[in-house]
Structure 1
Amino acid sequence: MLLGRVVGQVVATVRSPGFDNVSLLLVQDTTGDEPAGDGAICVAVDLIGAGSGDVVLMTTGSAARVAAGPDTPTDRAVVAIADSVIRHEADLHRTA
């Protein structure tokens, strides 16, 4: 799973039938060690009703396809809104 922040929405009036009942969100990846706001931005199918600024968990690959259902072709799906994220700084600074 990946951790990200919703930074926007994709509006598409013409869609493949598998996308009829889902929202498409722009999500910035916050999983890595990049400074805030420097992660890659991707499009993810919203399965839970996330909104702008929400911190979310995303699945990728086959897990996203299973979560979205067999008729929704996707590589990323938002599956949870995080209430809190606790990050321990000591874990980020590894020594060789």
Structure 2
Amino acid sequence: MFVAKVIGNMICTHKDENLKGLKLLVVQPVDDQLQEKGKPLVAIDTIGQSGEGDLVYLAKSRESSLPLNKELVPSDAGILGIIDYYNVKRMEEL
């Protein structure tokens, strides 16, 4: 799993049959200090509640579509939840 911030949405006029009815969002992965890390990617909103500005946690590849209970869903990432509170303690602080 990894953490990202939702930075936009995607509207498609044609989708794979298994993606119909699902919201696609553009997310920016972040590090433990919530700084941008890597390139943005498109994720399926498997919980149907995420929106722009939300901090979310995701799974990649096959695990990304497990909450959908469908056999094969073409996806690189899937949003599994919205983060309400985020706190990281560094080892030197412990």
TM-score band by shorter chain is 0.7 to 0.9
TM-score with structure 1 length normalisation? 0.81
Is residue 58 of structure 2 the alignment partner of residue 58 of structure 1? yes
> Which residue identity does 1:40 align to in structure 2?
K
RMSD (CA atoms): 2.2
Number of residue pairs matched by the alignment? 91
Over the matched positions of the two proteins, sequence identity in percent amounts to 23
Contact map agreement 2:43 2:77 (CA 8 A) in 1: yes
Deviation of the 1:36 alpha carbon: 2.2
CA distance in 1, matches of 2:37, 2:66: 29
Aligned residue for 1:47?
46
Match of 1:72 in 2: 73
Q: Which runs of 5+ in 2 are unaligned?
A: none
Q: Distance in 2 between matches of 1:39 and 1:54?
A: 18
Find the aligned partners of 2:39 and 2:32 in 1 and give their Cα distance.
10
TM-score normalised by L of structure 2: 0.82
Match of 1:2 in 2: 2
